[in-house]
Amino acid sequence: MSKLNTKTGITTFLSDQGYNITDQGDVLLLENDELNIGGLITGEQIEFVIDLCGINDLDQNKLQEIYEQILDENTEILPSSFGIDSGDPKDKRLVLVDSLAIENLDGNELLLALDALALNVIDAYDLLEKHLK
């Protein structure tokens, strides 16, 4: 088994597990069962991001209520959490994020994190679907 503390090791392992990997330079796009997960590998960790929807796609009259529900849900969907990606100020995105240290990363730990993200996407859409325009 390849070591999981490098981009190559992680990519090889996930490919062997059935993930389609697209290397986009700094970001890996992981695809499995119609779920797209962005992965950024730094020297210390891998950060996962799943784009859920645009903030502009939500009912703007209920944003405070939505944000309160999202913050409350953060206590339930551990180890993942909701965040706002404001990389494009005109198109802020609601995302689901997680990260793992890669120094001693184990394959089971990596797969568990990805499975948890997939399950948390279901919870996220259950929470958000009634607030989408």
From first to last of the 133 residues of the chain, give the pLDDT tens digit.
568 999 999 999 999 999 999 999 889 999 987 789 999 998 899 999 999 999 999 999 999 999 999 999 999 998 899 999 999 999 999 999 999 999 999 999 999 999 999 999 999 999 999 999 8
Comparing C-alpha atoms, which of 112, 46, 52 is closest to residue 79?
112
Instruction: Show the CA angle centred on residue 55, arms to residues 68 and 97, nearest 5°.
Output: 70
The answer as to whether 74 is a domain residue is yes
Comparing C-alpha atoms, which of 112, 97, 2 is closest to residue 46?
97
Domain range for residue 53?
Answer: 7-131
Q: How many domains does the chain have?
A: 1
From the number of C-beta atoms within 10 Å of its C-beta (0-12, 13-18, 19+), residue 126 rates as: exposed
The answer as to whether 117 is a domain residue is yes
Q: What's this model's pTM, rounded to 2 decimal places?
A: 0.91
